[in-house]
Structure 1
């Protein structure tokens, strides 16, 4: 049965008073900061041999790296993700007591994530094949084919967080803060093995330990157990400053070209401390943030932005690179990065990227809407499909991370990169991601089929437009996916 579109105003008017709107606001703001940061950081520079390359503004002007201590906002996004995942999984479990809801949980959480991601990967793979088959792909074009996939590491990490939510949530319900402490201790042990013992490949473990520790804080928020956010912020800030000043950690909280150690890839304990400071600060501002999100115009903006957030994130670098491509193709003189002329041109460049990005979102946003409303599990479902879903999300995780590392440049020549000691090529990674996505969809199909003949409720029709928001009174807090 076709779903009926519901306006943003109608969704806003149907929002339950008890919904945690501040969490939704944090999600929008964090992704917005990431997009704006990438648009500002990407600059075209001239190398020593006269070739034009895409560089990083923070490397050109190292003094600006201090901004990463505020603008490296991804820990906040993953923190809010943990909060949402805890509420979503518990809701599914309550409605289907005595059976596994793992497959239903994965599909409900990932439907709006995987469809637009797979479309993005396929579109760029096709473009790369056409460009390289025609003899192109050199210079800035090759750089673009490599850069557009780099932000996909975020998707891979998010997939891991969703996959590990059920077991880590059970541990959280038994041990509370001790689980977070164990993950922090594991991250410290990994950095010790990396820097003190030189243990090869040990650092890759912190892709799990650091980000899952941040995610675990979201579980604690869901239970109202972060009661002193100011202390959390202070401890995190002091720890991050001490680690950077005394340890082997760089000052920047994002990766810098050519640096031997990055706080981001793989993540370090310094980045974990930075995350604590940002999360504590965000929670300390919860009161005024909640009042801001409660304003009608602000809340409607949050709903609209959340409805296109993943599409905008996936295509934002494409938009910026398109602007640079047009400027260079037209023979425009690009000013020296960080010069007065460069800063004067920045608003125009950002506006142009926003226009191109808006067009891309208009074209591809349809894939962010699930083909069917991602309704929660019911007691009529079979509860099977957990192993298939686990295999699917594992393949998706490895595939997306692999593509983010290897890129689409030299696609026809079999370029490879090392993913956790395993060489991976772009075609192999893409195939793994696609097969994994199909397995996740298949795992949740039985429960979906059993509900297909049911008439969609108002909340289901609303979910088809902006699936993370449901008009049902039961949907009170979860900010990023259908809740029950």
Structure 2
């Protein structure tokens, strides 16, 4: 089957200088870690604690910033995260195939890698919420705390769906890369058209469930862009063309958002995902390639690589735990009667760097023992047979359901509890004794 290189012409003859001898792209690692720093920063800034006569309140200070909605065109990093995830996925899938592996082996490994760290989080949240309920914490406050602690879980559902698609989408990419992208684009546009067309229906019909199809088409399309990145497609273009392409994406977003068709805020466009996120992701990856020589020099610094390894080696654990730990940090500060400036005030902004450093210190501390779940091998014991495909498929479905429900209805005590049961069952379906570290 022809690759993108044979379909679209030869790629640049020399590999990017930032690739190691093993083929690993350190710039991609830098981007992934940078996205993690950005996610933690945004979530921290979205939590403003106010203390008044009515008690403790939680507000989002970012919404008071007039430029915030437009700023998300640059600061919404999840599309880029799916792009670099696609790069890593295609690389891993092809490496597995060269070793004689198949789709079942790939999906099983992804389920274990993503779900085992999540089991620990669900166990903690279920226990904490039941204890808080027994201690008489007011229901309204507990609802806010639980909802905030589970905001990030949507990603697990979306990413698991995309990872399950990798073997099929990689084959489609090898056979017909442009037609595959065109089909995903068309599907995403159709889903958005149906969703937006039904939003103003006179029957009160909820169109959001239709938009959930774009978990496959929008996030899958961004993952597909990562396949192109992995094969050097964007290396074919001069820097000025990449910048011009990114600018064209942003210019196209102006009529899409200013005309009222889509929200200007790209965070609002996230769940369910909508087409403008594809333009954001495409613009980001082109700007990434335009800045590649600069980023290459950055990753050559030893201290940068140490940070990349520290954060990158436990990225999933950090992502899952950062919000509960930020909430716990604020709770401790309240218990210690630390002064809380009015959200969005000058004093509030000046205090954010200290909270950000404290949040990262707490996250790194807690993730140190927990990262073992993320790094644990997915290999079976010598002589053990791989679980049947039906077990792998069922485990994947069971793993998607709990974070999907949280994405749709927010975390609470009950779905943390039954979600934990499903996740444990999913791991049990595809688990086994680990004999060696997987690649």
Counterpart for residue 469 of structure 1: none
Q: Secondary structure at the match of 1:249?
A: coil
Match 1:78 to one of 78, 82, 85: 82
Counterpart for residue 19 of structure 1: 24
Counterpart for residue 33 of structure 1: 38
Any gaps of 5 or more consecutive residues in structure 1? 1-14, 255-261, 415-424, 464-481
- TM-score, L = length of structure 2: 0.85
User: What per-residue deviation string (whole Å, max 9, x for no partner) do you get for residues 303-322 of structure 1?
Assistant: 22211212211111122212
Counterpart for residue 373 of structure 2: 367
Match 2:49 to one of 44, 48, 68: 44
Equivalent positions of 1:460-471 (< 5 A) are: 460=437
Equivalent positions of 1:387-466 (< 5 A) are: 387-409=390-412, 411=413, 425-441=415-431, 452=435, 460=437
Q: Secondary structure at the match of 2:58?
A: strand
On the 8 A contact 2:387/2:430 being kept in 1, the answer is: no
Q: Measured at CA, do residues 140 and 264 of structure 1 come closer, stay the same or move farther in structure 2, by a change above 3 Å?
A: same
Equivalent positions of 1:150-169 (< 5 A) are: 150-169=151-170
1:89 maps to 2:93:
yes
In 1, the alpha carbon distance for the partners of 2:215 and 2:80 equals 16
Q: Measured at CA, do residues 204 and 303 of structure 1 come closer, stay the same or move farther in structure 2, by a change above 3 Å?
A: same
Counterpart for residue 126 of structure 1: 127
In 2, the alpha carbon distance for the partners of 1:408 and 1:267 equals 20
Q: CA deviation at 1:35?
A: 1.0
Counterpart for residue 202 of structure 1: 210
Equivalent positions of 1:305-384 (< 5 A) are: 305-370=311-376, 373-374=377-378
Q: Secondary structure at the match of 1:77?
A: helix
In 2, the alpha carbon distance for the partners of 1:122 and 1:431 equals 9
On the 8 A contact 1:393/1:440 being kept in 2, the answer is: no
Q: Secondary structure at the match of 1:53?
A: strand
Bigger CA drift: 65-74 or 147-156?
65-74
Any gaps of 5 or more consecutive residues in structure 2? 1-19, 200-204
- TM-score, L = length of structure 1: 0.78
Counterpart for residue 241 of structure 1: 254
Q: CA deviation at 1:16?
A: 2.8
Q: Secondary structure at the match of 1:196?
A: helix
Q: Measured at CA, do residues 236 and 386 of structure 1 come closer, stay the same or move farther in structure 2, by a change above 3 Å?
A: farther
In 1, the alpha carbon distance for the partners of 2:155 and 2:149 equals 13
Counterpart for residue 466 of structure 1: none
Counterpart for residue 215 of structure 1: 223
In 1, the alpha carbon distance for the partners of 2:399 and 2:41 equals 27
Q: Measured at CA, do residues 275 and 307 of structure 1 come closer, stay the same or move farther in structure 2, by a change above 3 Å?
A: same
Counterpart for residue 16 of structure 2: none
User: What per-residue deviation string (whole Å, max 9, x for no partner) do you get for residues 216-263 of structure 1?
Assistant: 011111222233343542332122222111242222111xxxxxxx31
User: What per-residue deviation string (whole Å, max 9, x for no partner) do you get for residues 112-155 of structure 1?
Assistant: 32211110111111111111122224354431122111101111
User: What per-residue deviation string (whole Å, max 9, x for no partner) do you get for residues 410-450 of structure 1?
Assistant: x2xx5xxxxxxxxxx444433333322322325xx7xx6xx
Equivalent positions of 1:104-119 (< 5 A) are: 104-119=105-120
On the 8 A contact 2:47/2:60 being kept in 1, the answer is: yes
Q: Measured at CA, do residues 234 and 178 of structure 1 come closer, stay the same or move farther in structure 2, by a change above 3 Å?
A: farther
On the 8 A contact 2:125/2:416 being kept in 1, the answer is: no
Equivalent residue pairs, number: 409
In 1, the alpha carbon distance for the partners of 2:428 and 2:112 equals 11
1:266 maps to 2:272:
yes
In 2, the alpha carbon distance for the partners of 1:197 and 1:19 equals 45
1:292 maps to 2:301:
no
Q: Secondary structure at the match of 1:54?
A: strand
What is the alpha-carbon root mean square deviation over aligned residues?
Answer: 2.7
Q: CA deviation at 1:175?
A: 0.6
In 1, the alpha carbon distance for the partners of 2:22 and 2:254 equals 40
